[in-house]
Amino acid sequence: MDRILAAQHMAVDDLLPASYQRKALPADEDGSAVPVVSHATALFESFIRPTAVQSVLHLPAGLLQSLRARVSNSHRAWQRFVAVRIPGADSLPMEPLVLPEAITLIDRHYNSLMPYRPNRPNLYAVRHGAHLMLRYVDFTANRLVLRPHNIAFPVDLIEVGSGEPPSELIAGRIALILNEP
């Protein structure tokens, strides 16, 4: 059993029901502690296992509660907020908005293409294969159009499968960028 858990990068605590796992994660009394996790965890895990937490990001009281949600049904049960560190190579297309080693807060309950603020594009964490990318996103002709902030980088296109909503490829809206480590 130990070898199976090790192969899955799990601990015995990860086998406990989600209600016990939530208590294991560090939290403030106002709920403003957010787990910093790997890109794969942010993209594919609905609940964050205690062993998947790399560190904890503490935010000002009330910040998370003030954010509006617009979530698809498939992500409604997901833990709402996670943070990820953006390596230097992944930040280049979004410079100077996102600098190397920045920490970004992902609101996984906002995966709609509707603008959060009128006349301002949303920045999203998008799944491209098994890779997380930060981009501005549009949906045209059954494709997600991923636009970088830095015009020196190309626009990427992701074909959306028939019957699959584009929101399935969007991990969430970037709600906060911390460029200073």
Structure confidence at residue 175 (pLDDT): 94
> Which band of pLDDT confidence, cut at 50, 70 and 90, is reported for residue 166?
confident
Q: Is the peptide bond before 96 cis (omega within 30 degrees of 0)?
A: yes
What is the average pLDDT score of the chain?
A: 86
Q: Over 70: is that where the pLDDT of 9 sits?
A: no
**Six token digits for residue 168:** 């399935």
**Residues sharing a CB contact under 8 Å with residue 81, sequence separation 6 or more, in sequence order:** 34, 64, 105, 106, 107, 108, 175
Contact criterion met (CB below 8 Å) for 47 and 75:
no
Q: For the residues 133-154, what does the mean pLDDT come to?
A: 93
Pairing of strands 170-178, 131-140: unpaired
CATH of domain 2-178: 2.10.109.10
More confident residue, 109 or 30: 109
Residue boundaries of the structural domains of the chain: 2-178
Q: Over 60: is that where the pLDDT of 22 sits?
A: no
Contact criterion met (CB below 8 Å) for 103 and 55:
no
Calculate what percentage of the chain has a pLDDT beyond 90.
Answer: 54
Q: What's 70's DSSP letter?
A: B
**Six token digits for residue 32:** 């403003």
Q: Over 50: is that where the pLDDT of 28 sits?
A: no
